Amino acid sequence: MKIRKFKKIIALIISISSIVPIIPNSLINANAAETGWIQGESYWHYMDATGRVATGWLKDNGYWYYFDSKGIMKTGWVYVDGNWYYFYSDGKMATETTIDGYYLNSGGAWTNSKPNNQSLETNTLTWKDVQGTHSIKDAAPMQVDYDAEKLVSYENIEINDDDNTLMKLLFYHLDHEVLSLPEAKYQCVGKTIGGKYLIKDIKYFQKDLQPAEFNCDHFNAQAIANFLKQSSIYNYKSTSPYVYDTGIAMLVGNVNTHWEIVRMVVEFEAV
């Protein structure tokens, strides 16, 4: 009886061993660590030889790529360390070319210059320069928010009501994302306003806040203004001789899901 059981065990081992060779090598190595480019459902990662997923800048085969903090390859316009860059659909950074009307230099950064190093014409800012083409985002400033905006706003330029309206419209189109910052700079920098001031730069600061973080009296304009002034978006101190500086707090999202505080600083020099 013991001999028969032993023979059955031997036969079972032989039959199992005969099956193993027919398993494809691709399945055997399915759990092996991958390196290089790895495609996800709708994005790309890059894993180095140590198994670490790349974040930030990566140069591969002579081309620069950029990955966010989760290791996802970025495409389109990306703002990095104070500069705008453009990455094609395959992730490669664009250089020495014009994208959407914006010139990118040899380092890939967008500059205030027009293509081919043409100088910006010194002409008057018009309503067309502050227009945008993007869909307006869901935002709902209340009257108290506009009252707070008046309290935080500062300008030391002498302009008429029409030019002041242009500045307000520029801010509105930026904070409602009708106009992007690169577009605003390209369309407005180098233009004059009031016949006295040349726009040199436009700064824009934005911060999202959950309701609990916006801890002030939402029905008190002065309280809102104080909150804005004490926030990180007001850390920037302009050294320009002439400025138009304004900010606002508003509820955003189709169900007013969170608060957003924003600030625009337009910097000028005398003509």
pLDDT tens-digit map of 117-141:
333 344 899 888 898 888 888 887 8
Are residues 80 and 148 both part of a single domain?
no
In a domain, 29, yes or no: no
CB 263 within 8 A of CB 227: no
Helix, coil or strand: residue 65: strand
Instruction: Choose between 234 and 8: higher pLDDT.
Output: 234
Report percent pLDDT > 90 for the chain: 49
Domain membership of residue 4 (yes or no) is no
Whether the pLDDT of residue 216 is over 60: the answer is yes
Q: Are residues 131 and 230 in the same domain?
A: yes
73 contacts 88 by C-beta, under 8 angstroms? no
228 and 257 in one domain? Answer: yes
Among 115, 70, 105, smallest CA distance to 85 is for 105
User: Which stretches does DSSP call E strand in the chain?
Assistant: 36-39, 44-47, 56-60, 63-67, 76-80, 83-87, 97-99, 102-104, 139-140, 154-155, 192-193, 197-209, 242-252, 258-270
Longest dimension (CA), the chain: 111
Q: Residue type for 124, please?
A: T
Separation CA 72–CA 55 (nearest Å): 8
3-state secondary structure (DSSP) of residue 213: coil
Q: What is the mean pLDDT of residues 70-78?
A: 87
For residues 163 and 65, state if they share a domain: no
pLDDT of residue 219 exceeding 70, the answer is yes
Please tell me which residue, 193 or 103, carries the higher pLDDT value. Answer: 193
Same domain? For 178 and 101 the reply is no
73, β-bridge pairs = 67
**pLDDT of residue 191 exceeding 50:** yes
Q: Are residues 78 and 137 in the same domain?
A: no
pLDDT bin (cut points 50, 70, 90) of residue 28 is very low
What's residue 116's pLDDT?
40
Q: Which residue, 66, 89, 117, sits at the end of a domain? A: 117
Could you tell me if residue 15 is inside a domain? no
Answer yes or no: pTM beyond 0.95. no
What pLDDT score was predicted for residue 256? 58
> Above 70 in pLDDT, residue 6?
no
- Residues 41, 97, single domain; the answer is yes
Domain extent, residue 75, equals: 36-117
34 vs 69, higher pLDDT: 69
